[in-house]
Structure formats: structure tokens, C-alpha cells
């Protein structure tokens, strides 16, 4: 066996494609990681011998199930639910649940694969998983969302547990949905345990979990800027999305002295040349969380702003820094070139895989500061990990302590990226490579300890 069993990168990717037909997002995520890992493991025979990369790219299990629910008009609706348990080598499976019509097995497999590396980077003991459904919460009443969540959990509960697999929120799943799912879990099992994170503060949640992803992505951006002797003061930021991650990124950019020019949703983006200040961010939070409205409504409230519809994305707006915080593949190679042409020199991904493979190569080749989601957006799952610790010991930590822990964790991830993403004779840091290798190494070494399982 050993090295003779090892195939070259194109053959490895061809094998992943063949084994996962019709799953382009999953193949894309594996390709991006494998490009870096292949260089790293070139001279490390044990990783080949034990087929570590091949094994991480094969989920431990994919659970798929039917979710039936009744809408307000009495119609029976049928959705598909999944939980992908990718790897639990360094801790219980951990990762969000996404409710969006675009959810497929491919999307959840890519997210669970990415989560495995991200969670390792946090330094906390969490494996990688992801789940969700093609259910579309938009336009549904709260009672419909509740019935759906209850039905979803009625199957999911048997596959999860505080020491087994701990889901949380993601696109379309926030505090309301976690509440409905936790309530159903508790009802079925008669147990109050830390089986979900992102819970309300009154029932086991952690302070700053809601803010952590957007704040963390901005802290990571700041760490990158510091390597160039800069900070965020006076910089123009273009942000996509208008949900949990985008609004909290915008909030932290404002706090650190930057100016936020854009936000978006699936219908288009708003551009506010005067800046999306904190009171405007608060208005967007209220719009999205309470009224469940659309970002286009912003221009009726703040008349100096423009709305660009037709699903337009904000990358043509000139900026210093960009934070894609909506969804996967929302920034392509041409967008990346345009951003750089217009003067953008730092990109911090709040979303998971928002930049497609061509875009990643454009950023890497241009050697700008570019933080991949698995490093930059790890603050959310990190505070989820802290929520698990608080639940296990039945205590609640203070906000200032948690804020400090979040900053420490983001700085620690930055340090790992510098350690593995630097190259001799250059001060450029390849954060994609650094994050991939640092995350891989931790999981891989645990897998080696277990032998062939
Ligand atoms: P939300 O549901 O709160 O917000 C999602 C935002 O992205 C909305 O503005 C939504 O617009 C937009 N969006 C979603 N799908 C699409 C699409 N297909 N095309 C264009 N816009 C879209 O989700 P989050 O803010 O929690 O998540 C955003 C990203 O951050 C995701 O990639 C998620 O995986 C990632 N992430 C989230 C973490 C968390 O803690 N919540 C942690 C780490 C990463 P619309 O309302 O029109 O759908
Ligand atoms: O992509 C992510 O890291 C999340 N959606 C958060 C996962 C979590 O378990 O908090």
C-alpha cells in the first residue's frame, strides 16, 4: 500500500466527482481543500497510507428523511430533511441547520465538509455536521413554521444528542426556529440538555451567540489588516446579505470606524452612499427578524439610498474591503476581478463558500488579503462551543468574558493561518491554504490515532 495507493490531484477529484454525481457544491468544496492539502501531504506518508483526505471527503453518514406538515389552509405538504454527519474525530458532530428552497444533499455535504475544518480551527472539541431542508420559511405564518420544525425534529431527535450531534442555526433558522425545535426535542425525550445551540437566553442560550459570526468575521478582517499596519477606521465596506451574519458584520464594522455601503438579499442590493450606520442596521434587523420584510424596503425609509433589483449583487460598488455574508457562490471570478480593479484589498467571508473556485484563484493570484469562510466565520460555531460548555456545567458566563474569548479564538485562528499559510521569502499569507492545512492537520492526527475505523 502506502504511496503507491496515492493518486494525483486530478485523479482524486475525478474520483470524488464520480462517487458524488450531481453534487457540484460538494465537489467544489473538496477540490478547494484538496488543492492545498495535496502539497502539504506530499512528503507525509502516513496520511496517504491511511487515506485520510479520502476518508474526510466521505461523510460518516448522510441521514435523509421525509417531513410532512399541514399548512394553514389544511393542505398536506411534504419536504425532505437531512442531517449530514461528516466527521466526529475531535468531538461530537456540530453545525447548523438550513431551511431554504435551494437546499440539496450536495449543499449540506459541502457545508458539513467545510464545518469539519472550521470547527477544528476554533481549537474547541467539535466534529463537523450540517442539516436542513428544502422548506421555504418565506411567507409562512409562525404557526406553519412551528408545525414544520416540530415535524422535522420528530425524526431528527433520534440522530442527535448533547454528546452525539449538536445542531444550531444557519440560513432560515434563527432563534424562533431553534425554540420550536428545542421545544419538540424536550417534549419527545423529556430531557433538558444542550442538544441545540443558539438557544434563547432564558432557556440555556449563551450571550453573544447571535452576534458572534458577524463580529468574528470582522475581527478576522481586522487581524488581516493589522499585518499591513492598518485598521478599519475610514475604510469603505461592501457587505452582501441582510440576515444574522451580514447585520452583525455591519454593526462591528461601524463600531471599528468603517463605513458600510451595501446590504443585499436574494432580490437585489441597497447602496447607501451616506453609510449604513448603527441606527440603520437596527432598522434592518427589525425588518428582517420581526416584520420578515425585504431589503428593497430600505430605500423607502432612507431616501438617499438606491435599490438595485433583479438579484443584483453589490460587488460593482467601489470599496476597500468586502464581506460576502449571504450564501454560496455569490461572488464569481469576474466579480473578484472587478472588486480588485476598483481598489478592494481585503475580503473576509462571513458566508460559507461565497466565492466560487475561479474567484478564489483570482484573489489568491492577486495576493490580496483573503480570508475563507472556514476561518473568518468560525466565530459563530466557536460561541456555540462555548454555549455547550456552559450547558454541560450548568452555568452562564458574563458578556465581557465571552467577548474576550471570541476575540482570542479569532486571533488564534488567524495565527494558525499565518503558521501554515506563509511562505519563505515572502510576507504574503495565503489564508485559504493556512486554514485548510491547520484544520486538516488536527482532524487527520486524531484519525491516525484511531487506526482504520
Ligand atoms: P439568514 O437567513 O439570517 O440570512 C441569509 C441572508 O442571505 C439573507 O439576506 C438572504 O436573503 C440571503 N440569501 C440566502 N440565500 C440566498 C441566495 N440563494 N441568493 C441570494 N441571497 C441569499 O442567514 P445567516 O446570516 O445566518 O447566514 C448567511 C451565511 O452565513 C450562510 O452562508 C451561512 O451558512 C453562513 N454562516 C452562518 C452562521 C450563523 O451563525 N448564522 C455561522 C457561519 C456561517 P433572502 O432573505 O432573500 O433569502
Ligand atoms: O456555518 C456555521 O458555522 C453555522 N451555521 C453555525 C454552526 C453552529 O453550530 O453554531
Q: Which three cell numbers stand for residue 417?
A: 493561518
Give catalytic residues, as residue numbers: 130
| CB of 170 sitting under 6 A from ligand 2 | yes
Distances (CA, A) of 241 to 109, 221, 269, 328, 380: 22, 17, 8, 11, 16
pTM of structure: 0.98
CA 139 to chain centre: 24
Ramachandran assignment for 238, one of left (phi > 0), alpha (psi -120 to 50 degrees), beta (any other): beta
| CB of 119 sitting under 6 A from ligand 2 | no
What was the pLDDT predicted at 2?
40
115, 266, 324, 376: residue to mutate for ligand 1 pocket, most atoms within 8 A of CB = 266
Q: How far, in Å, from the CA of 112 to the mean position of ligand 1?
A: 16
Selected from 3.40.50.10860, 1.10.10.10, 3.40.50.970, 3.10.20.30, the CATH number assigned to the domain covering 61-193 reads 3.40.50.10860
What was the pLDDT predicted at 289?
93
Q: How far, in Å, from the CA of 243 to the mean position of ligand 1?
A: 6
Which distant-in-sequence residues (6+ apart) come within 8 Å of 278 by Cβ? 251, 254, 255
What was the pLDDT predicted at 4?
37
What was the pLDDT predicted at 6?
72
Share of the chain above pLDDT 70, in %: 99
97, 327, 354, 386: residue to mutate for ligand 1 pocket, most atoms within 8 A of CB = 327
* Phi and psi torsions of 347, nearest 5°: -130, 125
What is the distance between the terminal CA atoms of the chain, rounded to a whole angstrom? 17
Q: d(Cα 76, Cα 449) in Å, to the nearest integer?
A: 49
pLDDT in tens, 124-147: 999 999 999 999 999 999 999 999
Q: Which atom of ligand 1 is nearest to the CA of 212?
A: 40
Q: Which three cell numbers stand for residue 268?
A: 437585489
| CB of 380 sitting under 6 A from ligand 1 | yes
Q: CA-based angle 147:151:156, to the nearest 5? A: 140
- Contact of 295 with 265, CB cutoff 8 Å: yes
Q: How far, in Å, from the CA of 337 to the mean position of ligand 2?
A: 29
What was the pLDDT predicted at 413?
99
Q: Which atom of ligand 2 is nearest to the CA of 111?
A: 1
What was the pLDDT predicted at 119?
98
Q: How far, in Å, from the CA of 433 to the mean position of ligand 1?
A: 25
Q: Domain extents for the chain?
A: 3-56, 61-193, 210-371
Instruction: Identify the residue whose C-alpha is closest to ligand 1 atom 41.
Output: 170
Selected from 3.40.50.720, 3.30.200.20, 3.30.420.40, 3.40.50.360, the CATH number assigned to the domain covering 210-371 reads 3.40.50.720
pLDDT in tens, 66-112: 999 999 999 999 999 999 999 999 999 999 999 999 999 999 999 99
3-state secondary structure the chain: CHHHHCCCHHHHHHHHHHHCCCCHHHHHHHHHHHHHHHHHHCCCHHHHHCCHHHHHCCCCEEEEEEEEEECCCCCEEEEEEEEEEEECCCCCEEEEEEECCCCCHHHHHHHHHHHHHHHHHHCCCCCEEEEEECCCCCCCCHHHHHHHHHHHHHHHHHHCECCCEEEECECCECHHHHHHHHHHHHHHHCCCCCCCCCCCHHHCCCCCHHHHHHHHHHHHHHHHHHCCCCCCCCCEEEECCCCHHHHHHHHHHHHCCCEEEEEEECCEEEECCCCCCHHHHHHHHHHHHCCCCCHHHHHHHCCCCEEECCCCCHHHCCCCEEECCCCCCCECHHHHHHHHHCCCCEEECCCCCCECHHHHHHHHHHCCEEECHHHHCHHHHHHHHHHHHHHHHCCCCCHHHHHHHHHHHHHHHHHHHHHHHECCCCCCECHHHHHHHHHHHHHHHHHHHHCCC
Question: How would you label 311-343 residue by residue, b for 16+ Cβ within 10 Å and e otherwise?
Answer: eebbbbbebbbbbbbbbbbbbbbebbbbbbeee
- Is it true that 61-193 and 210-371 share their CATH fold? yes
Q: Which atom of ligand 1 is nearest to the CA of 326?
A: 7
Instruction: Identify the residue whose C-alpha is closest to ligand 1 atom 7.
Output: 326
What was the pLDDT predicted at 424?
87
Q: Which residues of the chain have pLDDT under 50?
A: 1-4
What was the pLDDT predicted at 112?
99
Amino acid at each position: 500500500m502506502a504511496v503507491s495507493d496515492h493518486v494525483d490531484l486530478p485523479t482524486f477529484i475525478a474520483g470524488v466527482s464520480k462517487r458524488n454525481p450531481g453534487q457540484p457544491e460538494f465537489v467544489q468544496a473538496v477540490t478547494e481543500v484538496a488543492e492545498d492539502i495535496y502539497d502539504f501531504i506530499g512528503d507525509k506518508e502516513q496520511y496517504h497510507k491511511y487515506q485520510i483526505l479520502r476518508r474526510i471527503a466521505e461523510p460518516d453518514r448522510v441521514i435523509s428523511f421525509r417531513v410532512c406538515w399541514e399548512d394553514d389552509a389544511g393542505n398536506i405538504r411534504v419536504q425532505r430533511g437531512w442531517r449530514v454527519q461528516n466527521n466526529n474525530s475531535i468531538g461530537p458532530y456540530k453545525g447548523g441547520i438550513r431551511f431554504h428552497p435551494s437546499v440539496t444533499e450536495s449543499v449540506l455535504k459541502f457545508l458539513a465538509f467545510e464545518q469539519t475544518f472550521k470547527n477544528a480551527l476554533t481549537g474547541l472539541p467539535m466534529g463537523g455536521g450540517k442539516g436542513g431542508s428544502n422548506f421555504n420559511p418565506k411567507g409562512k405564518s409562525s404557526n406553519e413554521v412551528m408545525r414544520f420544525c416540530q415535524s422535522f425534529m420528530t425524526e431528527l431527535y433520534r440522530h442527535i444528542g448533547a454528546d452525539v450531534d449538536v445542531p444550531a442555526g444557519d440560513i432560515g433558522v434563527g432563534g424562533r426556529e431553534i425554540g420550536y425545535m428545542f421545544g419538540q426535542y424536550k417534549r419527545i425525550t423529556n430531557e433538558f440538555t444542550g442538544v441545540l445551540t443558539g438557544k434563547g437566553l432564558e432557556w440555556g442560550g449563551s450571550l453573544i451567540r447571535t452576534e458572534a459570526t458577524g463580529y468574528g468575521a470582522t475581527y478576522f478582517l481586522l487581524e488581516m489588516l493589522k499585518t499591513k499596519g492598518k485598521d478599519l477606521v475610514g475604510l469603505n465596506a461592501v457587505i452582501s446579505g441582510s440576515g444574522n451574519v451580514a447585520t452583525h458584520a455591519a454593526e462591528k464594522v461601524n463600531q471599528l470606524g468603517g463605513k458600510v455601503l451595501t446590504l443585499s438579499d436574494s432580490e437585489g442590493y441597497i447602496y447607501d452612499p451616506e453609510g449604513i450606520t448603527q441606527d440603520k442596521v437596527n432598522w434592518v434587523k427589525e425588518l428582517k427578524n420581526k416584520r420578515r420584510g425585504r431589503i428593497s424596503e430600505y430605500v423607502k425609509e432612507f431616501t438617499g439610498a438606491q435599490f438595485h433589483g433583479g438579484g443584483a449583487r453589490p460587488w460593482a460598488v467601489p470599496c476597500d474591503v468586502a464581506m460576502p455574508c449571504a450564501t454560496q457562490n455569490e461572488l464569481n471570478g469576474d466579480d473578484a476581478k472587478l472588486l480588485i480593479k476598483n481598489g478592494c484589498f481585503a475580503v473576509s467571508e462571513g458566508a460559507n463558500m461565497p466565492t466560487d473556485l475561479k474567484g478564489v484563484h483570482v484573489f489568491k493570484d492577486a495576493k490580496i488579503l483573503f480570508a475563507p469562510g472556514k476561518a473568518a466565520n468560525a466565530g459563530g460555531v466557536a460561541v456555540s462551543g462555548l454555549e455547550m460548555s456552559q450547558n454541560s456545567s450548568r452555568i452562564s458566563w458574563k458578556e465581557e468574558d465571552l467577548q474576550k474569548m471570541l476575540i482570542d479564538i479569532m486571533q488564534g485562528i488567524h495565527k494558525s493561518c499565518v503558521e501554515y499559510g506563509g511562505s519563505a521569502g515572502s510576507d504574503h499569507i495565503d489564508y485559504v491554504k493556512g486554514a485548510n492545512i491547520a484544520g486538516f492537520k488536527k482532524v487527520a492526527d486524531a484519525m491516525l490515532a484511531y487506526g482504520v475505523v
